[in-house]
C-alpha cells in the first residue's frame, strides 16, 4: 500500500471520528425545527407560515451569534495542538461567559421588538398572531441557545464531538415529547411548540455545564472568565459576526420574497428550507471536522497535514452532497406530506425539493471550505467576501422573484436562487482563497 493511501486512510479516520458524532449533534437543531414544523403544519397553513416567519427571525438573531462556536473551536484546537490544555479550556470558559451576556441582551431585545419585527412581514392577521406568539416565548431560550454554541465549540476544539451528540439526542427526544403534550394534549398550539423547545434547550445547557466543569477541574481552570480572554473572544468573533450577517441577510431576503407570493408560498418556503437546514447541518459535520483538524494542525505547525485535511474533507463533502441529493430527488414527490396536508402547499413542493437535491454537491464544497478557513483563523476574508456574495445574490434574487410567477415556479426560483446562485458565489470566493497559501498562518 502506498504511503499516500496510508496517509489518506489515517486522515479519513480522524475526519470520521469527529464528523460522525458531529453529524448527530448538528442535525439536532434543524430536527427541533422539523419537529415543530411537522406538528404545527398539521394544524393548518397559517400556523405553519407563522412558524416560518418567527423561526426565520429567531434563527437570524441567534445565527448571527454562531461565532461563539466557530471562533471558540479553532482557538481551543490551536492551543491544544500547541500543548496548552489549560489555555485551551480557559478560552472555552471565556466563550461561555461571553455567550451568556450576549444571550441575555439579544433575548431581551427580541422580546421587546416582537411586534414590529413580525409587522415587517406581509402577513395576514391569523398568521401574524401565530408568529408573535412563537417568537415572544422563544426569546426565553435565546441565552440557552448561545450557551450551547459556546459549549459545543469548546468540546469540538478538544476533539470531543461525542458529548454534543449525546446531549443533542436526549434533547431532541425530550423536545418531541414535550411538544406533543403541549400542542395536542394540552391544546396550546404554536405556544406549546415554543415552550417545549425552550425547556429542551435549557436542559442541554445544564448537561453541558456539568461536562465542562469536569474538563476545567482536570485542567486546573476556574469558573470565572479572564478579561483578556473575553476581549480576544470578542475580537476573533467580530469578523465571523460580519460573515454571518451576510449569510443571514441572504436567507432573510429569500423569506421576504416568499412572503410576497402569499401564505402558501411562505409555508412552502418553510418546508423546503427546513429540509435544506437539515441537509446543510449534515454536510457541515465535515466542516466541523475540518475546522478542528485544521486548527490543530496550525497549532502544531504542520502545513502538510492541514492541506491534506482540506483535500479529504472536500472529497467526502461533495460525495455526501451527491448522496443526499439523490435521496431528496427520489423522495421529492412524497416527502412534503411529512410537514403538511395543505393541498396548495403540497403542489409546490416536489419541483422545489428536486432543485434543492441537485444543488447539494455544490453546498458540500462550500460548507467544508467555510470550515477550513474558520479553522485557519481567516475570519477577515470570510467577513468581506460574505458581503461580496450578498451583493451578487440580491440582484439575482430580485430578478428571479420578478420574472417567476407565484406558485410552483416561484418557489422553484427562490430555491434555485439561494441554493445555486448564492452558493456558487460562495464557492468561487472560498475556492480562490483555498487555492493559495495566505490562509496558512501556523502557530498558536
The answer to the question of residue 440 being in a domain is: no
Q: First CA to last CA across the chain, in angstroms?
A: 34
Calculate the CA 327 to chain-centre distance.
21
- Angstrom distance (rounded) from CA 199 to CA 107: 15
Over the stretch 349-390, which tens digit does the pLDDT of each residue have?
999 999 999 999 999 999 999 999 988 888 889 999 999 999
Secondary structure (DSSP) of 309-330: HHHHHHHHHHHHHHHHHHHHHH
Predicted pLDDT of residue 406 = 73
The answer to whether 404 touches 412, Cβ cutoff 8 Å, is yes
Predicted pLDDT of residue 82 = 79
Query: What Å distances lie between residue 418 and 280, 284, 355, 390, CA to CA?
Result: 13, 17, 11, 10
Predicted pLDDT of residue 195 = 93
Task: Report percent pLDDT > 70 for the chain.
Answer: 95
Here the cell at position 240 is: 465571523
Predicted pLDDT of residue 229 = 67
Angle formed at CA 401 by CA 399 and CA 402, multiple of 5 degrees: 65
The answer to the question of residue 441 being in a domain is: no
Here the cell at position 108 is: 431581551
Q: How many other CB atoms are there within 10 angstroms of residue 406's CB atom?
A: 13
Residues spanned by the domain of 89: 3-435
Predicted pLDDT of residue 53 = 86
The answer to whether 24 touches 295, Cβ cutoff 8 Å, is no
51 pLDDT exceeds 70?
yes
Predicted pLDDT of residue 1 = 47
- Angstrom distance (rounded) from CA 388 to CA 391: 5
The answer to the question of residue 444 being in a domain is: no
Angle between helices 227-259 and 408-416 (to 10 degrees): 150
Predicted pLDDT of residue 324 = 93
pLDDT band at 27 (very low <50, low <70, confident <90, very high): low
- Angstrom distance (rounded) from CA 46 to CA 259: 12
What torsion, rounded to 10 degrees, do the Cα atoms 238, 243, 245, 249 define?
180
Q: Is 125 exposed, middle or buried, given 0-12, 13-18 or 19+ CB atoms closer than 10 A?
A: exposed
Calculate the CA 370 to chain-centre distance.
12
Task: Report percent pLDDT > 90 for the chain.
Answer: 36
Contacts of 38 (CB under 8 A, 6+ apart): 338, 339
Secondary structure (DSSP) of 401-426: HHHSPSSHHHHHHHHHIIIIIIHHHH
The answer to the question of residue 406 being in a domain is: yes
435 pLDDT exceeds 60?
yes
Predicted pLDDT of residue 30 = 61
Over the stretch 107-135, which tens digit does the pLDDT of each residue have?
999 999 999 999 888 788 888 899 999 99
Q: How many other CB atoms are there within 10 angstroms of residue 2's CB atom?
A: 7
Secondary structure (DSSP) of 140-173: GGHHHHHHHHHHHHHHHHTT--HHHHHHHHHHHH
The answer to whether 94 touches 229, Cβ cutoff 8 Å, is yes
Over the stretch 305-360, which tens digit does the pLDDT of each residue have?
889 999 999 999 999 999 999 999 999 898 888 887 888 888 889 999 999 999 99
Angle formed at CA 88 by CA 83 and CA 93, multiple of 5 degrees: 165
The answer to the question of residue 295 being in a domain is: yes
292: three-class secondary structure by DSSP: helix
Predicted pLDDT of residue 199 = 94
Q: Quick one: average pLDDT of 61-69? A: 77
221: three-class secondary structure by DSSP: coil
- Angstrom distance (rounded) from CA 180 to CA 35: 9
- Angstrom distance (rounded) from CA 306 to CA 65: 27
216 pLDDT exceeds 90?
yes
- Angstrom distance (rounded) from CA 170 to CA 164: 10
- What's the total number of domains in the chain? 1
- Angstrom distance (rounded) from CA 407 to CA 41: 19
pLDDT band at 2 (very low <50, low <70, confident <90, very high): low
Amino acid at each position: 500500500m502506498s504511503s499516500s493511501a496510508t496517509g489518506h486512510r489515517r486522515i479519513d479516520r480522524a475526519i470520521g471520528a469527529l464528523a460522525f458524532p458531529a453529524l448527530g449533534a448538528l442535525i439536532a437543531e434543524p430536527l427541533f425545527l422539523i419537529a415543530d414544523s411537522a406538528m404545527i403544519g398539521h394544524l393548518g397553513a397559517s400556523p405553519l407560515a407563522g412558524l416560518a416567519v418567527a423561526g426565520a427571525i429567531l434563527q437570524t438573531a441567534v445565527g448571527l451569534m454562531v461565532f461563539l462556536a466557530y471562533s471558540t473551536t479553532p482557538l481551543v484546537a490551536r492551543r491544544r495542538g500547541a500543548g496548552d490544555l489549560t489555555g485551551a479550556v480557559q478560552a472555552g470558559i471565556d466563550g461561555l461567559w461571553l455567550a451568556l451576556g450576549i444571550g441575555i441582551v439579544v433575548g431581551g431585545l427580541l422580546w421587546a421588538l416582537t411586534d414590529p419585527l413580525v409587522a415587517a412581514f406581509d402577513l395576514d392577521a391569523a398568521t401574524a398572531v401565530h408568529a408573535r406568539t412563537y417568537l415572544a416565548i422563544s426569546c426565553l431560550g435565546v441565552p440557552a441557545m448561545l450557551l450551547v454554541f459556546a459549549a459545543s465549540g469548546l468540546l469540538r476544539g478538544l476533539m470531543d464531538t461525542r458529548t454534543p451528540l449525546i446531549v443533542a439526542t436526549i434533547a431532541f427526544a425530550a423536545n418531541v415529547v414535550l411538544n406533543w403534550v403541549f400542542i395536542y394534549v394540552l391544546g396550546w398550539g404554536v405556544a406549546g411548540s415554543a415552550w417545549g423547545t425552550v425547556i429542551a434547550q435549557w436542559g442541554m445547557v445544564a448537561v453541558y455545564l456539568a461536562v465542562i466543569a469536569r474538563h476545567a477541574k482536570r485542567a486546573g481552570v476556574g469558573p470565572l472568565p479572564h478579561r483578556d480572554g473575553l476581549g480576544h473572544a470578542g475580537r476573533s468573533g467580530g469578523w465571523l459576526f460580519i460573515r454571518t450577517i451576510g449569510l443571514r441577510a441572504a436567507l432573510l431576503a429569500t423569506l421576504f420574497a416568499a412572503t410576497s407570493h402569499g401564505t402558501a408560498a411562505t409555508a412552502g418556503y418553510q418546508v423546503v428550507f427546513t429540509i435544506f437546514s437539515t441537509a446543510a447541518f449534515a454536510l457541515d459535520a465535515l466542516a466541523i471536522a475540518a475546522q478542528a483538524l485544521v486548527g490543530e494542525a496550525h497549532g502544531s505547525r504542520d502545513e502538510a497535514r492541514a492541506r491534506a485535511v482540506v483535500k479529504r474533507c472536500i472529497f467526502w463533502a461533495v460525495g455526501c452532497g451527491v448522496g443526499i441529493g439523490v435521496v431528496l430527488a427520489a423522495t421529492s414527490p412524497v416527502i412534503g406530506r411529512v410537514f403538511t396536508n395543505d393541498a396548495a402547499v403540497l403542489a409546490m413542493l416536489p419541483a422545489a425539493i428536486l432543485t434543492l437535491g441537485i444543488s447539494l454537491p455544490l453546498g458540500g464544497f462550500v460548507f467544508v471550505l467555510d470550515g477550513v478557513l474558520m479553522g485557519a483563523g481567516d475570519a477577515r476574508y470570510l467577513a468581506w467576501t460574505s458581503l461580496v456574495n450578498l451583493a451578487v445574490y440580491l440582484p439575482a434574487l430580485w430578478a428571479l422573484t420578478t420574472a417567476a410567477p407565484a406558485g410552483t415556479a416561484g418557489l422553484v426560483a427562490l430555491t434555485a436562487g439561494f441554493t445555486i446562485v448564492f452558493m456558487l458565489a460562495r464557492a468561487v470566493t472560498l475556492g480562490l482563497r483555498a487555492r493559495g497559501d495566505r490562509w496558512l498562518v501556523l502557530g498558536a
